[in-house]
A and B are shown apart, each in its own frame.
Chain A
């Protein structure tokens, strides 16, 4: 269970970044008063273009960013004041956080299992499940730097899920993956949902959101502009396609379509 309450995150910009973004203001509001709730047994998708604030929101959930205003609670724990407890109950998957490539998948899996306070038997049991599920056994003893992109991604997913967390937060789950690995990942996310886990993903791919998510929150410029199941969103926008719905919302919220 994740509840995001009036979350606002403001970045301070330095001179170089201000130039990059062609702005004279020294702050950028990445997430603006955003609220949503994600429940156990469903996949909640944050859908929006690049720079909409999806990653920032997920990072706030994962405790590595601190909200400027508002709060985020994961399973009832506040991400700022009870960060360690939150980190104990979630898995945060993202492309930017990487496993140290010098180690083997086996070593990393055991290391993070121990960090999560698991016993050796628990780790071994979990290892069997995940390594079979993601087809890791063949390369588990190899250094991560020797693996292909797809293998690295699978290794990262397995390591991040070592503690069988109640909450899974996945930033762009299929980005950079080949079609086979992408399918394995989305299938697994559905399994997690069936198992009663709370799953939140971010994506800018409409088809992925359509197929994967039970409920979708559409964010544009840091604000939530629509939320609901696919049919609810179609209804709100008078469309019958997520892409059309997105463009309707985008225009209505001051975005320019070229």
Chain B
């Protein structure tokens, strides 16, 4: 135990006395996160305001008096530059106009049937002709899309006006009133987005934090011959293994805390910028139990990742081959974490929690929604602890193997 602590301290000192490492582990991620999210926020904001402030170019053919009223009433005119065309003009330029929509030079084309009002007024009952409005827009152009959705309002107003002309009292058409009441668990309210993203984020951050330092601490030290200096010292292999792994797990944890904090700070300083982009981005309230459950799970997962990477790296001949071993493992973690994003509400069977990585990811997800059962939690935690213990022993065995450590 004494030697374990000595190794642990040395490994921690090694990282914290290295300015370059500190910058790459703690400073750069924070700055990058902040810069990235600020950039996303600013760009999203300017894109939204640009679309909203854009004056759309609209062509309206055969406008009726009522349509003009509807356009005035719905306020469509303010954001739009409307060209009024007669049927003859339109027929002449039809091909040109469609081409302009295709190229994004024109946002919206609204064509009313030539004798729209006559046809509308002539309607008496079933089987009679119904007047037609053709609308053309380009769904791949943001401006066009926006013009279309704004004009839909105008059409609704127009429809209502025509209906009241035809039948007078619109209440006849209202067959029922509708009131809505949302019933949600408080712990789940507004957390859909977070509970979807959190397991993914946590696992990626922890793993990549562990990866950047652990490959060098094992494969690198083996390559440089510095690990050997520990192996000829009178110290148990398990002490070297655990000392190193615990130290690296602490550093990986700190690194991911920096990531997480800078991400949260960045997102919250972005403030409203994202509010109209994603729903379910509400505030999350964790109670003490949730925090403890989540914290414990993260500590165990952190150790598991480091010891897992350590085993792969120690098995490898040098850092280069260690990276080729670790990369597929990273992919597996990615996939396991991503699978939680496509969960339906169905309850998971207990065996799923026993699957390493995937089980951890769904457990983390359940913790954030406050839905985890203690049995499922303990299964997931227990399996991870057990595997980590086995991997620690394997790591010590690798240290003891002359074939793997000294290429014998």
Contact = CB atoms under 8 A, between A and B. Distances in A.
Interface of A: 9, 11-12, 56, 59, 62-66, 84-85, 87-88, 92, 96-103, 107, 111-112, 114-117
Interface of B: 3, 6, 10, 13-14, 17-18, 221, 224-226, 228-229, 231-236, 402-403, 405-406, 408
A63 B6 CA distance: 22
B241 to A, nearest CB: 15
Interface centre among B221, B225, B235, B402 (most CB of A within 10 A): B402
A158 to B, nearest CB: 13
Interface centre among A9, A11, A115, A116 (most CB of B within 10 A): A115
B234 A116 contact: yes
Given A11-B408, A99-B226, A63 B236 contact: no
Given A87-B233, A99-B226, A111-B6, A66 B221 contact: no
Contact of B231 (A56, A64, A107): A64
Contacts, number: 68
Question: Interface residues of B: mostly helix, strand, loop or mixed?
Answer: helix
Nearest to B6: A114
A12 B231 CA distance: 22
B18 A98 contact: no
Given A102-B18, A111-B10, A63 B226 contact: no
B228 A97 contact: yes
B402 A66 contact: yes
Given A59-B406, A111-B10, A64 B232 contact: yes
Contacts of A92: 232
Contacts of B231: 64
A101 B224 CA distance: 9
Given A111-B10, A114-B6, A97 B232 contact: yes
Nearest to A162: B233
A111 B243 CA distance: 14
A194 to B, nearest CB: 25
Contact of A84 (B18, B236, B402, B403): B236
A219 to B, nearest CB: 18
A100 B13 CA distance: 12
Contacts of B406: 59, 64-65
Given A96-B225, A97-B225, A84 B232 contact: no
B234 A84 contact: yes
B151 to A, nearest CB: 67
A111 B9 CA distance: 10
Given A64-B405, A115-B3, A100 B234 contact: no
Given A111-B6, A115-B3, A115-B6, A62 B232 contact: yes
Given A84-B236, A87-B234, A115-B234, A96 B6 contact: no
B14 A100 contact: yes
Interface centre among B18, B228, B229 (most CB of A within 10 A): B229
A98 B225 contact: yes
5 smallest beta-carbon distances between A and B, as pairs: A88-B234, A97-B228, A87-B234, A100-B226, A98-B225
B237 to A, nearest CB: 9
A101 B235 CA distance: 21
Contacts of B405: 64
B229 A63 contact: no
A165 to B, nearest CB: 10
